[in-house]
Structure 1
């Protein structure tokens, strides 16, 4: 059983930092490569670039909750939700 998890390509869990602008402020988000793959797939499906999608998501959370706590964790959970829905363009979404 652990072979499924142990045999993962190390490139998928390599951390990648991307710089984006949220509400006019430059920031960096550090996620594992596989999460970026899922986010890139969501953005593409929505007809947006990944930075545009992240900005829109950030704005919607601000409007709904009044603040965005731990945006990187929110993004990881969004990816898990997307994978559970089975509609991600990421290569490991299955």
Structure 2
């Protein structure tokens, strides 16, 4: 295994990890901003007001994005397993 192969493998693993985390992070960001504006407008500073809706929104995002997430993970794993002989040489 050459250093370029290892670096390429690590790079693709990091890229797929960031890609898979994107839906949940985006939903959390949007919900957080909306709730922050709501809290600023009403001057309610309750921690559970931000935590519980973010948790529910992220859970819904995971459920909605699950087929896409699994497709990406299975494709990445399949590529690794199919190219394993090439990596070993």
Determine if the TM-score, normalized by the shorter chain, exceeds 0.5.
no
Q: Greater helix percent: which structure? A: 2
Higher relative contact order (CA 8 A, sep 6+): 2
When the two structures are superposed, what TM-score results if normalisation uses the length of structure 2?
Answer: 0.23
Higher radius of gyration, 1 or 2: 2
Q: Greater strand percent: which structure? A: 1
